[in-house]
Structure 1
Amino acid sequence: MADGEQTAQTARNTQADGVQDAAGNQGEASEAQTPQFEPLTVTYERLRHSTDPQELHEFARRPLPDRAKQAAFSRATALLEAVAGNQHTPLEDRVFLAETMPFPNVLVKLSEDPSPEVRRAVAANRDDKNWLVGRLTKDEVPEVRDEALRNPQTSWKMRMEGAQNPEVDAQTLDFLSRLGVELEPDAPRILSTMVRRGVALNPNAGAETIERLKEDPVPEVAKAAQRR
């Protein structure tokens, strides 16, 4: 091969190598710029065991995706369950979730929180399912139980048990004594009557509550109060 031809061939080879290197570098840069998508189970476990309050705070306060984006929405609510069940999530964030979340999987986690403040917030959440509120009417902390009994989602069975429970405070008993009359006037008559009668017989009911029940429109409630 002549010297001129060899020189030209060397130049072409060098140019080709340069194109390949450039293409390779561009591919590496593109790969580096593409965010790695973390599977849901991996992210869930990482958040569930995270000890970083700031990371957990950011997830707790992050706005939820539009419900129309079903995959993203489901992923976000699932991750909130992990955040809600992690005790390294700041208390104020757990209370925030307990007050605002309508999702049963998140609220169940929070209903088992060791902080009474969090459980009380769950008990007051009107998006609760009645079975969850019913569980909280049995809570060991009186403030949590009383809050659950005042939640409109509480079943009548739980309300009747609360009306008969001498550990329920006078204020909550006063609330129960108004059901079917001043509060929830369209409530089932028999059930609301049983609740008010239970309050009338409860030794923890306040004097003003008893005096009002003496004038109850249902005779059996009024008689129970008069016997006090």
Structure 2
Amino acid sequence: MEQGAAGDPSSEAASHGAADVAKPTDGTAATADALATADTATPDGTAAAADASPTDGTDDAVDPDAPVDPVDQDGTRAAGSSADAASDRQPDFEPLTDTYERLRHSTDSAELSGYARAPLPDRSNQAAFSRATALLEAVAGNAHTPVEDRVFLATTMPFPNILVKLSADPEAEVRRAVAANEDDKNWLVGRLTKDRDGEVRDTALRNPRSSWKMRLEGAQDPEVGPPTLDALADLGVRTEPGAPAVLSSMVRRAVALNPGCPRETLERLARDGSDQVARAARARLR
């Protein structure tokens, strides 16, 4: 039986038929898998990967739920994109020196008035507070700041840098407001007792921050007005009763000797508790 099977012509023909399929005439090996691979080969002869991207160009590896910045049709980033939103959140900041110079030379009265009237930051925020007071100096020194705003600053501000600027203001009304400010340094009041405007000088002399030297010089000045002489005649008596007796009596005596002293003031000084003051006043009344 084994010999008959080996020599069976039909079996031999079958094996030759199989060989014809397995081995083509050009000698290349072409298995069924190779043929299947050949169908998916790229034009340059390389085999395409089994997990190649679909023909529509989308990438299966991209998370479809990931946020994507919107893009306009022309390829530019939309205004609402995350990058633009981040930049919008960053406030514009102008350096102090730049803002100072801009305000110092500004002709925009409305802007200058806004700075003059804006409430100051709380002192606990030292950086913001220092910046605001520094900028007020530029506003105070700008002639385009409305006069009423400069008077407001001269009346309400306690800061020497601002008051010094305003003490040189071309408007006597502004300088007078500085002269009346009791937060002035005494040297600044002293400067204003020599002001070219009589009302400014008188106001400075009536300021409690004025020194005794300034008061004495004012009491001796024949150009000082009667209201100011009358105010000086009260020093150490009705005003500042705790003032040094010697200094205050020297000022009152100088008032009594001043040729511009009004009669009613002389009559009051003639009853002064200091003999020297009273004698000087009575001598003037004769």
TM-score, length of structure 1 as denominator length:
0.93
Q: Does 1:72 align with 2:128?
A: yes
RMSD of aligned Cα (Å): 2.3
Q: Does 1:10 align with 2:66?
A: no
For residue 58 of structure 2, what is the amino acid of its counterpart? A
The secondary structure found in structure 1 opposite 2:236 is coil
Residues 31 and 208 (structure 1), Cα distance of their counterparts in 2 relative to 1, 3 Å cut: same
> What's the counterpart of residue 206 of structure 1?
262
- Give runs of ≥4 in structure 1 deviating > 6 Å: none
Q: Give aligned-pair identity as a percent.
A: 64
Residues 9 and 134 (structure 1), Cα distance of their counterparts in 2 relative to 1, 3 Å cut: farther
Which one has the bigger helix percentage? Answer: 1
**Mapping of residues 152-163 of structure 1, within 5 Å:** 152-163=208-219
Q: Does 1:144 align with 2:191?
A: no
Equivalent residue pairs, number: 227
**Mapping of residues 170-185 of structure 1, within 5 Å:** 170-185=226-241
Q: Does 1:131 align with 2:187?
A: yes
Q: Does 1:105 align with 2:149?
A: no
Q: Does 1:117 align with 2:173?
A: yes
The secondary structure found in structure 1 opposite 2:216 is helix
| Structure 2: gaps spanning 5 or more residues | 1-47, 72-76
For residue 192 of structure 2, what is the amino acid of its counterpart? L
The secondary structure found in structure 1 opposite 2:169 is coil
Q: CA deviation at 1:215?
A: 1.0
More deviation in 217-226 or 94-103? 217-226
User: Quick one: higher RCO (CA 8 Å, sep 6+), 1 or 2?
Assistant: 1
Q: CA deviation at 1:27?
A: 1.5
| Structure 1: gaps spanning 5 or more residues | none
**Mapping of residues 183-222 of structure 1, within 5 Å:** 183-222=239-278
- Distance in 2 separating the partners of 1:188 and 1:169: 25
TM-score, length of structure 2 as denominator length:
0.74
- Distance in 1 separating the partners of 2:95 and 2:272: 60
2:53–2:59 CA contact under 8 A, matched in 1: no
